[in-house]
Amino acid sequence: MIKTADTPRTWNETLDTPSSPGRSRLEESWRLFRTNRLALIGLGIFLIFFCVALLGVFLTSGSNPVFDPALVRLEEKLRPPLSRPNLDALTPGKVPTLGVYLFGTDDLGRDIFSRMLQGAWVSLTVGFVAVGLSVLIGIAMGGLAGYFGQARVTFGHLLACLLLGMGSTWLVAGNKWLAIVLLLTGGALLYISLQDTRSGRNPAKENLWLSWRRLPIMTVETLIMRVVDIMLCFPSFFLILTVVAILPASMYNIMIVIGLTSWMGAARFVRAEFLSLREQDFVTAARALGVGKLRIIFRHMMPNALGPVLVSATIGIASAILTEAGLSFLGFGVPPPHATWGNILSDGKNFIFDAPWLTFIPGFAILIVVLSFNLFGEGLRDILNPKLRKRS
């Protein structure tokens, strides 16, 4: 039953409210999700991992942790999983908790179970933050490029971005005052320029001094796509190597760097989808109804464009964790002796025949995380795009 309006409502809300009795959108989504068993399982497994990771941080940190990941027992090197420790050779302080090497030991005799616990949080965070960052940036850039394609970028915009960029570099380099001045000027200029675009003021009345900033340089789309091109031109390994060598080797820097160097794929996909979606009827309808631009982009068009983005996000998680492994092989990445799934893997490279569990266990863990996220992602996609739902 269509709700009749007693008080005037905006069109936005009318469009949103479903015409079925009494369910909000969120409830609808949740109902759908609940029936999709696989998606639930995916979410469940993922949450379990998340909790284990958090628990792991507590259980393995401090100077006398419950599970000690850094304890070296050279005599017990390369023991297979579920093997008992040689109690004669070990001092009591070195016997593993639980009395057995749950996942075996590595080539320095450290307990793999403890190391996996310690590494879970780092690896999960690296995977999700890096991918999250790259997806967010990719969607934003792709969406803006795809929708605003023909909008002109003026000189003022560019100058503002340049100032902001310089300001942030100086901030990183430590020169605070200059950075603040630059950031403020840049920000102000950006705000004024954006206001101009929005209001479309008549240039004839403009003072000559200020009119230069209206000079159109290129379209939004060109700008963003060129930035994507430039980023694509640099092999990511090379960029990561440079940035990681300059900045201190902390976990957060690595996450940010991996995120900042892998958003280009998502951006290109989203832009491509948007180019075709833009001409579709529902978008024209929404525009005709006066729905705000940003809302159209993120609320109406984006859910339809997310398909390939979700796939690349799932793959990206595994890839980010493995990139961290590759980096730790080169010596960047989290400083030792902190364990991550990635560096357990790369340490095990030499012992594939003698100790295959060093490769299997972290690989298997990564696989489960990725699979569970994939199941969850498919469920998510069904919610966002009704056309993809199974015909029941």
Partner 1 sequence: MTVRRILILAPTLLALFLLQSYFWVPTYEEQTRGNPARLKEYISASIGDASILNPILSADSASSQIESFVFEGLIDRDKDLRFRGRIARSWDITEEAYFYVNEGASIPGLGKADAHEVIRFLKGVKGSPPPGSALGKALEDIREVSLIPPREYQVTREDKLPGKQGKAGKIRFQVHAPARIRLVLRNVNQDLFQDLERLLGPDYFTGFNGLKYLDADLRLDNRVMETYARRILPATEHNPVILFHLRPGIKFHDGTLLTAKDVKFTYDAIMDPKNLSPRISDYEPVKSVEIIDPLTVKVTYKRLYSPALTTWAIGILPEHLLNRDALRAEALRRGEDPKKFSVRMSSFNRHPVGSGPFRFEEWKSDQFISLRRFEDYWEGPPNYDHYYLRIIPDNLTQEMEFYAGTVDDYAVQPHQVKRLESDPRYQSFSGTSFGYTYIGYNMRRKPFDDPRVRRALGMAIDVDKIIRYVLYGQGERITGPFAKQTDYYDAAIKPLPYDPEGALKLLAEAGWRRNRDGWLERQGKRLQFTLITNSGNDLRKAILAIAQAAWKQIGIDVRTDLLEWSVFIQERVNKADFDAVILGWQMGIEPDLYQIWHSSQTHPYQLNFVGFKDKQADDLIIKIRQEYDHDAQVAYCHRLHEIIAREQPYTFLYVGKWTAILDKRIVIRDVDKKGNVVYRKITPTKTGSYTFYFNKWIKLPEVPTFAQDG
Partner 2 sequence: MLSFIGRSFIQKLVTLFFVSIVSFLIIHLAPGKPSQIDPMNPKFTPEILERFQKEFHLDKPLYIQYVLFYKDLLTGKTVSWKDNQSVLKKMWDRFLNSLPLFVVGTLLTWTLSFPLGIRSAIFRGGAFDRTVTFFSYLLISIPGFFFAYMLIIFVVTRFHVPVIGMETFGLATTAWTSVAMDRVWHLLLPSILGATGGIAVLSRYVKSQMLEVEGQDYVRTAVAKGLPPEKVHYKHALRNALLPFATMFGLILPGLIGGSVIIESIFSWPGMGRMAYEAILARDYPIILTVNFISAVLVLAGTFLSDILYLLADPRIRL
Closest residue by Cα to residue 91 from 73, 69, 68, 115: 73
What radius of gyration do the chain's Cα atoms show? 26
232 binds partner 2 (CB under 8 A): yes
Residue 356: which residues within 8 A CB-CB, separation 6 or more? none
Residue of 114, 193, 343, 374 interacting with partner 2 (CB under 8 A): 374
d(CA 95, CA 86): 9
281 binds partner 2 (CB under 8 A): no
How many residues in the shown chain lie near partner 1 by CB under 8 A? 25
Q: Name the binder of 335 from partner 1, partner 2, none, CB < 5-8 A by kind.
A: partner 1
2 binds partner 1 (CB under 8 A): no
Beta strand segments in the chain, E: 152-154, 216-219
Q: Name the binder of 136 from partner 1, partner 2, none, CB < 5-8 A by kind.
A: none
Q: Which is nearer to partner 1, 20 or 63 (CB)?
A: 63
DSSP characters over 165-190:
HHHHHHHHHT-HHHHHHHHHHHHHHH
Specify the stretch interacting with partner 2 by CB under 8 A; choose among 2-10, 68-76, 88-96, 220-228. Answer: 220-228
Q: Name the binder of 324 from partner 1, partner 2, none, CB < 5-8 A by kind.
A: none
d(CA 388, CA 379): 10
d(CA 387, CA 389): 6
d(CA 55, CA 369): 17
171 binds partner 2 (CB under 8 A): no
Site for partner 1 in 349-378 (CB under 8 A): 350-352, 354
Residue of 4, 7, 19, 63 interacting with partner 1 (CB under 8 A): 63
Segment holding 57, helix H or strand E = helix 37-60
Residue of 112, 366, 380, 383 interacting with partner 2 (CB under 8 A): 366
If one counts every other C-beta atom within 10 angstroms of the C-beta of residue 72, the result is 14
Residue of 52, 95, 108, 218 interacting with partner 1 (CB under 8 A): 108
242 binds partner 2 (CB under 8 A): yes
d(CA 150, CA 255): 34
Q: Name the binder of 225 from partner 2, partner 1, none, CB < 5-8 A by kind.
A: partner 2
3-state secondary structure of 18: coil
Please state the φ and ψ torsions of residue 218, each to the nearest 5 degrees: -160, 175
71 binds partner 1 (CB under 8 A): yes
- As to burial, measured by CB atoms within 10 angstroms (0-12 exposed, 13-18 middle, 19+ buried), residue 271 is buried
To the nearest whole angstrom, how small is the minimum distance from the Cβ of residue 345 to partner 2? 6
75 binds partner 1 (CB under 8 A): yes
d(CA 362, CA 359): 6
Q: Which is nearer to partner 2, 228 or 297 (CB)?
A: 228
Specify the stretch interacting with partner 2 by CB under 8 A; choose among 3-11, 14-22, 189-197, 219-227. Answer: 219-227
217 binds partner 2 (CB under 8 A): no
3-state secondary structure of 34: helix
3-state secondary structure of 111: strand
89 binds partner 1 (CB under 8 A): no
Residue 231: which residues within 8 A CB-CB, separation 6 or more? 261, 263, 264
d(CA 28, CA 378): 17
Q: Name the binder of 320 from partner 2, partner 1, none, CB < 5-8 A by kind.
A: none
Q: Name the binder of 63 from partner 2, partner 1, none, CB < 5-8 A by kind.
A: partner 1
Residue of 41, 151, 272, 384 interacting with partner 2 (CB under 8 A): 272
- As to burial, measured by CB atoms within 10 angstroms (0-12 exposed, 13-18 middle, 19+ buried), residue 216 is exposed
| Site residues (vs partner 1, CB under 8 A) | 63, 70-72, 74-75, 77, 107-110, 245, 249, 329-332, 335-337, 347, 350-352, 354
Name the site residues for partner 2 (rule: CB under 8 A): 149, 218, 222, 225-226, 228-230, 232-235, 238-239, 241-242, 245-246, 268-269, 272-273, 275-276, 279-280, 307-308, 310-312, 314-315, 318-319, 322, 325, 345, 349, 352, 359, 363-364, 366-367, 370-371, 374, 385, 387-390
